[in-house]
Amino acid sequence: MTRYATGRLLLTPVDPEAPTRAGRLRRLDLGERDDTSFESFDAFADKVAEVTETPYSMVNFIDENRQFFAGLHTPSGTQGGSDLSTAAAGSGRSGRHMARDHGYCPHVLLRRKALVLDDVCDYPRFAGNPVVDEIGIRSYLGAPLIDRTGIALGTVCAVDTVPRPWGRAGLATIKSLAQELVGHLNRRERR
């Protein structure tokens, strides 16, 4: 098993679908961009934050090497990611990147179903994730974005720095938001 420099075990699962997903993301033109073509994803992340009443929310596409926040809502209302820890976000453009072994979205992607963590510290597998110490994440609510081809392209998620009792209502909400965004992706592809 791989260990972090801190001695913690690396618990992010292996992703055998990553090359296929990365190819699909390129075909859909959903990879990294330097222009403002992701304004609609930022607006969607804003909606997720409003609906879930959380300080952070993301529309996250994941390739072989890292996560890319195509949509990002932060407490300051900026989409630059400056509110995210530089250490966790990596050296990518404007803080919109995160290593694959940071956070919970890679788990959602491979599970292919929603993940609800009221308090990440209650789960040994998730409590040791770098985002707990580096960003202060304590609760997570995320669902996969499974496109019309059956490929899980990424996730939509909401996170908070305090424990949250998401309950069934939170689960239903994030699943509904994911379905809404998949509809947006399908319409985008048809154009």
Helix or strand or coil: residue 135? Answer: coil
Report the length, in residues, of the chain. Answer: 191
Q: Which residues are within 8 A (CB) of 153 and not within 5 positions of it... i.e. 6 or more apart?
A: 21, 24, 25, 28, 30, 61, 62, 145, 146, 147, 185
Give the containing element (helix H, strand E) for 134. Answer: helix 130-134
**Which one, of 86, 85, 89, 114, lies nearest residue 100 by Cα?**
89
Dump pLDDT digits (tens) for 12-40: 778 889 999 999 999 888 866 544 567 89
Reported pTM:
0.84
Fold of 18-190: Beta-Lactamase (3.30.450)
Sign of CA dihedral 149, 150, 153, 156: positive
The first and second tokens of residue 159, run together, are 């996170």
Dump pLDDT digits (tens) for 127-177: 888 888 888 899 999 999 999 999 999 999 999 999 999 999 999 999 999
The alpha carbon of 138 is separated from its chain's Cα centroid by a whole number of angstroms, namely 15
Dump pLDDT digits (tens) for 80-128: 444 454 333 443 335 788 888 888 899 999 999 999 999 999 988 888 8
Cα–Cα distance for residue pair 63/163, rounded to 1 Å: 29
What residue spans define the domains of the chain?
A: 18-190
The alpha carbon of 72 is separated from its chain's Cα centroid by a whole number of angstroms, namely 9
